[in-house]
Amino acid sequence: MRDLFERLDPAARLLTVVGAAVIVVSTPRAVLSPFPAYFALCLLLILTGRASARHLFFRTLAVSPFLLLAAGLLAFEAGSLPAAASVAAKGYAAALLLAFLTGTTPLGELLAALRRLRSPASLNLILGMMHRYTDLLSEEYARLERARNSRTVRPLGKERFRVYGRQLGALLLRSWDRAERVHAAMLARGFTGEWPEPERRPAGVRDAAFPGLTCALFLAARLWL
């Protein structure tokens, strides 16, 4: 039971979370009655996966600044406390659902889910490149930073923007040159414009039933509570 969610196809996991979030967010403003049921359903959903409580807690809280700002604007400018509470509850429920998805589905699987759902090929390729190279380029920038710090004896002062700019420019140049090499290597290996997909089991009844049942339960809470 605890890894039921992880055993679903990643596309089914994405559809489950997006479907539930759409239903929660579509609750009319100032209507608060379905939210206890929404959060109870979120908890039930969480019990089907292995996302850590720490991940769920901190990721859900991460949306607070913008969410509380919006709720505050509603409370003070529009003078509607129930509407403010409803926006905050919707935001936290949607954030909890997304945190559950990211806590159970590694980034590579999420990108595979997007490809399976037929997102644009150029976007898939850009996302795939980011997945492979962001860490590498972050480390490269960290090396540039270390080299600068070890050779800079005085604070940079007003020069700092120019120095940061040159450093970032150097990172861009390196990444551009790397892109040329990577593309040549990809072509040499027979690249035809799309990532090769690994063998994957075809989507089964469970992959359709789980998102369907989850969305039906959220919809029932939305319509009858």
Partner 1 sequence: MHIADGILPPLWCGLGHAVSLTSIYWLGRRIDSGEVVRLGMLASASFAASLIHFPLGGTSVHLGLYGLAGVLAGRRAFPVIFAALLFQTVLFQHGGLLTLGVNAGNMGAGALLAAVLWRLPAGPDAARAFAAGFLGVLAPAVLIAIEFSLAGYGKGFFLLSALYLGAAALEGAITAAIVVFLRSARPALLAIPL
Residues 177-216 that bind partner 1 (CB under 8 A): 178-180, 182-183, 186-187, 191, 193
Nearest distance from C-beta of residue 168 to partner 1, angstroms? 5
Binding to partner 1 by residue 123, rule CB under 8 A?
A: yes
Of the candidate spans 4-12, 22-30, 197-205, 206-214, the one that interacts with partner 1 by CB under 8 A turns out to be: 22-30
- The count of C-alpha atoms lying within 13 angstroms of the C-alpha of 190, restricted to the half-sphere facing its C-beta, is 1
- 82-101 residues in contact with partner 1 (CB under 8 A) are 87-95, 98-99, 101
Of the candidate spans 3-11, 35-43, 46-54, 57-65, the one that interacts with partner 1 by CB under 8 A turns out to be: 57-65
Residues with Cβ < 8 Å from 44, sequence gap 6 or more?
A: none
Nearest distance from C-beta of residue 30 to partner 1, angstroms? 11
Residue 198, sorted as left (phi over 0), alpha (psi -120 to 50) or beta, turns out to be: beta
Residues with Cβ < 8 Å from 84, sequence gap 6 or more?
A: 71, 72, 74, 75
Binding to partner 1 by residue 81, rule CB under 8 A?
A: no
Contact call for residues 5 and 48 (beta carbons, < 8 A): yes
Binding to partner 1 by residue 63, rule CB under 8 A?
A: yes
Vertex 28: Cα angle to 99 and 59 (nearest 5): 15
